Structure 1
Amino acid sequence: MKKILVTVLFLTVAVNGLFAEAKHSTIVYTMKGNVEAAYNTMMDKPIKALGYRLPDPRKGVNDVYKKQYGSTTLDVLSFMTIVNDKSIKPLLEIDPKLAGFNPFNLVIYKHQNKDETVISHLTASAVIEMLGITNAKVIAEYTKMMTNLDSLVSKTFPKATVTYGLYEGAMTDTMMHYEMAFDRPEDLDDFIDDIQEKVEDTFIEKGYIMAGFFNYKQGKKDLIPSYDAFWTFSLCHFPYSYTIFDNKNAMPEAAVFAPCTMYMYIKKDSNTLVMGMPRLANWDRLFKMKGQKRMDFLKKLD
């Protein structure tokens, strides 16, 4: 009897593992030929009409790779970080972790040896899981916002083949989170300027490029009243970027994660600076790094 129960239990676990529900990590649009010009047009007035900004667009990253490293396997690679700040700000009032992927990259790439172009981004569900967001309103509103974005891409490229990146199982240990207490000065602006300068200097010393900056308190501050300060840095480590996205067995599909977004905020009347960002380990979780060199580089920076 015990053997039968053990066998049944083993089969149950095996079957559940075999038929585990696959989840969408990315949405992938594949178009024949080089559609960079049409993409660039979409990233101007059409995407801005949806409420998106492009704080720090980086076109022709592959050209920079070729200039700096002497070669590239890509015809097209652009990091077009976008943020719908008017829609995001009310959601940050509920869960500030949403800034971990906002701004985010609506990446475009084309391999030299393929007559097709790919446009891709992380799905709302993958972002929500990695950030550990559980609030129903945040999930619903963010999912709706991303659905509207996908409607624009589909309308712009009606002949695109749409596929999804897949992953299984729960994602754990996906975020870095730090809190730093400070003596709150009368003039908080000077403190913020000093912190931002120190962060920039520290990352630059470690070989990073400060690829972007976005201040959520800029503009209509009443849309985000619970914070005295809230900003993000976009971080890029160029040797790491080239190692992952270009050269042999290039993985430009992983550029949906690039540049990495680090958020920092101070709650209203608080004396605590909060910092957070997604871990690089998420890249391997969703894309499975090709080659030990890529994996070693990822672990070193994480």
Structure 2
Amino acid sequence: MKNLLKKLLALVVVGTMGFAQDIQVFTADNSDGKITPKTIEEAFLKVGFFVAENRDMNIPFKKQFNESSFDVYNLFTFYSKPDTLTLVKEHSEIGLFAPLSMSIYTKKGEKTISVSTLTTESLATILGIPKDDKTLLKIGNMVKEALKTAMPNGQFVKLPYETKAIVGERVTRFEMDMEADSWEDTKDEFQMSFEGELSPNGFVMAGFSDLNYDFEENNYEGYNFYDVYSICKLPVIYTVAKVRPEAGAFAPCSLYLYKKKDENKMHVAFPSVYNWISAMAIDDKASLEVLDDAQKRMEKILSGLME
């Protein structure tokens, strides 16, 4: 076993508690089958969220792995456009969770449906912003309102584990210098090369958000660009979800790249897989191996492009 994998296993076992629960799971009886990913999407739209993707993962699971542990497993990405604009003015890294991710799932043979999302406390910790930030709390309340609308008989359930000490940086960051008169060409070249590296390394671009378009539409022009890629690695979510179906609270992963108008550099970052391991107390070898591989591959891609 690799040294890093040994370290992850050891620290997961002996780590101290982090936040009480980083992931919240809302579960409802669905014996009549009336609650679906589509009806949940409608509730999120109703409270004011923009829905980027609502993807049925059972199709790729069965295609690549010939089976699924779920009757329903959707990965759902969403964000509040006006609240993202409010937050980015103070917290430039909000693109780590714009869009936010969640999973909608029913295990095979069960009559319940569950939705997993990150708590506002865990979002604040990863983003490095105050846990009492009013806009972040507003988003959290919108999520709860949408869930209660979609699943009126549902309730939050306590997960059967506690969070563990994190074993690495919560956010993996890179920077690249840009010339004031040629940043557009540099950006285009970077994105073309980056997108070309995804498939050979087993990643899929599950979505793309041009946040700066929304910012400029609302007369905020602090950035030359602010793009967010939603990145998924199928073996990761397939493997981890078997043990922790709530893993969709982290998947697909948001990777941002932005340039502020008063800087001559591009910032690139994504939430590290160590958040998964800490938040879900992951200790099985299969999950740790696929997470470690994904982290190393993405770091290699980005470090290579930044040279």
Query: Does the TM-score normalized on the shorter chain lie above 0.5?
Result: yes
Question: Which residue does the alignment assign to 1:155?
Answer: 149
- Residue 294 (1) aligns with residue 264 (2): no
Question: Which residue does the alignment assign to 2:107?
Answer: 111
- The structural deviation recorded for 1:88 is 0.7
Q: 1:52 aligns with which of 49, 53, 61?
A: 49
- Residue 26 (1) aligns with residue 19 (2): no
Structure 2: gaps spanning 5 or more residues: 1-15, 296-307
Give the TM-score taking structure 2 as reference length: 0.82
Question: Which residue does the alignment assign to 1:41?
Answer: 39
Question: Which residue does the alignment assign to 1:69?
Answer: 65
For 1:187-213, what per-residue CA distance to the aligned partner results, in whole angstroms no more than 9, with x for missing partners?
x44433322212211222211101110
CA contact (8 A) 1:57 1:79 kept: yes
For 1:245-300, what per-residue CA distance to the aligned partner results, in whole angstroms no more than 9, with x for missing partners?
24xxx321111100011111000142200011110011110112252121122122
For 1:9-43, what per-residue CA distance to the aligned partner results, in whole angstroms no more than 9, with x for missing partners?
xxxxxxxxxx9795231221111236574441231
Distance in 1 between the 2:82 and 2:58 partners?
A: 32
Distance in 2 between the 1:257 and 1:110 partners?
A: 18
Distance in 2 between the 1:20 and 1:300 partners?
A: 25
For 1:156-195, what per-residue CA distance to the aligned partner results, in whole angstroms no more than 9, with x for missing partners?
3221132244745775621111111122335x44433322
Distance 1:219 1:295, change over 3 A: closer
Question: Which residue does the alignment assign to 2:211?
Answer: 216
**Counterpart amino acid of residue 204 in structure 1:** S
- Out of 221-230 and 32-41, give the one that drifted further: 32-41
Question: Which residue does the alignment assign to 1:87?
Answer: 83
Structure label with greater radius of gyration: 1
CA contact (8 A) 1:56 1:213 kept: no
- Residue 183 (1) aligns with residue 179 (2): yes
Distance in 2 between the 1:57 and 1:121 partners?
A: 14
Question: Which residue does the alignment assign to 1:279?
Answer: 272
Question: Which residue does the alignment assign to 1:227?
Answer: 223
Distance 1:265 1:227, change over 3 A: same
Distance 1:273 1:161, change over 3 A: same
Distance in 2 between the 1:103 and 1:30 partners?
A: 22
For 1:220-250, what per-residue CA distance to the aligned partner results, in whole angstroms no more than 9, with x for missing partners?
504542111101001111122222224xxx3
Q: Which secondary structure does the structure 2 equivalent of 1:146 belong to?
A: helix
Question: Which residue does the alignment assign to 1:202?
Answer: 197
How many residue pairs match? The answer is 277
Question: Which residue does the alignment assign to 2:241?
Answer: 245
**Counterpart amino acid of residue 234 in structure 1:** S
Runs of 4+ with deviation above 3 angstroms: 19-22, 34-39, 164-172, 188-191
Distance in 1 between the 2:208 and 2:34 partners?
A: 25
Distance 1:135 1:163, change over 3 A: closer
- Out of 23-32 and 33-42, give the one that drifted further: 33-42
Give the TM-score taking structure 1 as reference length: 0.83
Q: Which secondary structure does the structure 1 equivalent of 2:51 belong to?
A: coil
Q: 1:98 aligns with which of 81, 94, 99?
A: 94
| Larger RCO, structures 1/2 (Cα 8 Å, 6+ apart) | 2
Percent pairwise identity:
22
CA contact (8 A) 1:106 1:120 kept: yes
Q: Which secondary structure does the structure 2 equivalent of 1:241 belong to?
A: helix
Structure 1: gaps spanning 5 or more residues: 1-18
